[in-house]
Amino acid sequence: MDTVDRGLVHALQIDGRASFRAIADVLGVSENTVARHYRRLRGQGVLRVAGLVNGGRLGHTQWTIRLRCTPDAAGPVAKALAARDDTSFVYLLSGGTEVSCTVQTRGTQDQDALLLGRLPRTSGVVSISAHLLLRGFVLPDGWQGLAWLAPDQADRLRPPPVEAGDGPIELDEGDKALLRALNLDGRAPYAELAAATGWSETTVKRRLYALRSQGIVSYQLDMPPSAVGFGTQARLWIAARPAKAVEVGEALARHPEIAFASLTTGPTNLLAALNCRDPRDLGHYLTERLAPLEAITTMETAPIIRTVKRAGPLLL
């Protein structure tokens, strides 16, 4: 990627719906140049902007699931999980015999059906562990590996802060149609969103602002880390002393290699996603960057062999 590509990528990470004009002003290039670079990267399948719903604002619960499978079953199991509308970040790990993914459930009934019903009976699944995600320290849209713009440039693109909300929010059918369209293309023009909802463009703009300011919808840049030179990814399951778990999670969030970190239930109390440039870089991180965190008692590293799905469709 050239400097315009990298600036564009960082800009879209900050605000996936930032206008080409606003990005061009920050980069010091023409609006047509920004639009051309975006169309090229989008057309090559390098990036897309996805509108994602904060499931917590709808009363949903998030889990991270690990499935150990027979060698012939891991691929089909991962593919089947990726086809579901309640999954995201589906990976093949550890030589291709393990699957990891994130799952959202609407309530106890959905949760029990998946975790106690369907998955345990799936052919080729040897074992399952499910961990409730309790608190995020860094999310994929906060990964520092995409940073390129100077702080003052980034501040010019940053969207307004999200309002705090209490309790789940109910969406009507128009909202759901709008969110589905944004999930396919977070940069869909207002005219296209109006056609999807049957609303006027003015109504679409007003509702989009409300959904975003209430923290219901956000825009995530969906692209492989390898596109910006991070060819080695891994999942980390970390056990830290309970009194220090939050402190370790906050330390992980300050590491530019960490793309995701969350407090979880289970025998390990932290989950992290790690992006490194190569295996040597991964080894350096584990032994020299992570090792000084003395509150960590045990850690398991599972390299990602294949990414089957990143940002997923919406559970509405």
User: Which pTM value belongs to this model?
Assistant: 0.89
Look at residue 17 and tell me if it is in a domain: no
Look at residue 241 and tell me if it is in a domain: yes
Percent of the chain, pLDDT > 70?
Answer: 92
- Quote the domain boundaries for residue 296: 137-146+229-304
Look at residue 269 and tell me if it is in a domain: yes
**Residue 163 has what pLDDT?**
77
**Residue 54 has what pLDDT?**
85
How many Å is the Cα radius of gyration of the chain? Answer: 20
Distance (Å, rounded) from C-alpha 109 to C-alpha 120?
16
Look at residue 238 and tell me if it is in a domain: yes
Look at residue 250 and tell me if it is in a domain: yes
The domain tally of the chain equals: 1
CB-count exposure of residue 147 (10 Å: 0-12, 13-18, 19+):
middle
pLDDT digits (tens, 9 = 90+) for 102-146: 998 876 666 666 665 667 677 788 888 889 999 999 988 889 999
Q: Which CATH number is 269's domain given? A: 3.30.70.920
Look at residue 236 and tell me if it is in a domain: yes
Look at residue 83 and tell me if it is in a domain: no
Which amino acid, 170? E
Distance (Å, rounded) from C-alpha 275 to C-alpha 224?
10
Answer yes or no: is pLDDT of 279 > 90: yes
**Residue 109 has what pLDDT?**
65
Look at residue 195 and tell me if it is in a domain: no
